[in-house]
Structure 1
């Protein structure tokens, strides 16, 4: 089957595949003194997310035509109308401000029932005689004796019918109470014996992780490491910290499916490109490489398309993640919640407070390869190399 190529001469509408000079989906535009972003309208109103494609087709294929814009506005207006009407209805309903027509009640007419008096014994005898005469007439029509030789004496005698009036006057005999059925009592099933808990055996080579669980001022549970006194909100985060920092157990690397070399997941894409020639995920606009394909779309939306959910109002800066946005908001506050217990200094950021505690604990992880001098911060080591060993620093930071 021959493949067909689609040649796009102008912009392409991603909603109807029309071609022409259209508007960008992520570019904000003003309509009737209201700012519209068509990609956000599609996501909020119709729950449809249209991502941009990487490469040269990114700009010309991420547009929408005027006809689709009009239909999208109508859909958004209709959704807002339904939401407003529903909110108003529920508000009036809970306030008991909605009343309906009550149905007219119909009065049922009472029926008079007349009770007949009991007939005398003579009347009852007359009725029985008439019934006997009627039975004789019936036998006459039946034809007398049958061919089988059975006479009228052989037939079963029917009891005389009683009139309605006599049936009402004579009380019916009360039925004899039946004896209750004998129910055999089933023996209850034997209760299962509770298994006694076996004492937990301590595995060899494992030790308990030292931590202190307390509650802070907001009545939330926190975990404090007994070694370095770091505070964690979740026990899982504390366990990862203790195993990685104090026990030296880093996350295990996985084998490459081609050469069976242990490579961590963040370096797997670069290893596949350098060793096996498989290109890593990269941006078609700027050529930047990433470890995962999902990072490429996030990069294109934030850097090239200008889309961002996190924007700082005081300084009008955009951020790609909520973590960076919350970290930036600390600059606009004067709250210094990280206080050193050994000196009166306070800090806004937790990372700065950690580096400060390294000074009190005399921890110097950064060592100069020339004179073996040790420093607390990497910036201090860099300044030392530039001042004391400029030739080595020039080769190192070239």
Structure 2
């Protein structure tokens, strides 16, 4: 059955496509809101694993994923993002280091080339500075050259060459010292870069993610998780008036056994099995702190203790978003108004009057879920729409009811699974009987007003309404007689109409009621007639028939008790 919330539809129960378990599920290709972020699980599979899931456009029940697999998918996606961020940081650091190395090498190469050019100029220098002109163009062979002047010129050029060589040597030494300093600076910068890269490798490569702002629902669910993990409260679910374990879905009729079974589970798993926006039910018969031997019987005192003594965080600006109960085997009481109820289903329905947020505009009825309100509002609407079965022509009020009818009646599809052995059954009642006969479940319900014991709550409820509460809603218009069931009223109407529609197939005798025909049919069977009349030797199979015989045939005699 699906439930629509503000954060997406939920299906309970549903078959998970990822683990094959039957749990509360979500749709794979539907957008959900989690911790302030939007997520589509089929897209997350594609981004994280490159896995394209099939049949995502089929029926909703064929594309489901449970809460446990969703949490594992989120962990995988978070780990992938962590690796990508780490790789990006590493590559950026390497690129920056290579760029600085390239800049330093280019500077060194340019300066080396300049040094080589200067060295070659010193070797080819003649001591004469010709400027930009070629000396061969200024030379004139007609002009006589005096030998004395040429000697002086040679001497001057020699001195000039020596002077220039000395100057160049000083400049080269200065340039070498400058290059040495630049090399030292370059090595120092490389050392710093290597230290920085090493620190990036050693430190945690993933920064703490920025925590999104939590809304009230997320804060309330966080508080519930802290309470369940650190106390002995018992989270549970219900199947009508049976109690269901919140972790493994096992059913219990005795709340004491439910609490004992709950201790076998790890409470830290509660966050995985509890769906957001799901109505959480918690039994607070025992609270007590798990972290210390303190015994606490009040929830407010426990929250104060867990924050002050153990440093746990709780959001104080939100109220508890779960229903509190003190489960007992017999009478159940509302913790808000102290009203008493015989069945948990009735108590839970009553709790909607205190905490239900979905209210009918016509009659003011309260409900926890919007879908239940929508079903209720159909009572105020005159809807003539029917959904007939093509096989037998029977009309139904909804497509869902018609589908169940076709599956059970015509297709003989077993849809009720035993949670212990996995066997499927055609109806809830057959599975119920299977749990008692095969698995030995103790399902005995004692009436508080008499000694009668029943094997189902339904039978006990009808017993209380009929015998103790005297709830007879169906009244005869002719004699004002009341009946518990409409079928009994229909049988009673034969008294006024004279109809005798129930006829014996052996002797043709007719009766106005089915019960009369059933009693008569025993006379045709080989059953010992142990109830005998001591006056006329008539024998009967049932004591009630002997009583009727005495009233009709021997009414003038004083007979107090029938004879056997």
TM-score normalised to structure 2 length:
0.26
TM-score by length of 1: 0.35
Higher relative contact order (CA 8 A, sep 6+): 1
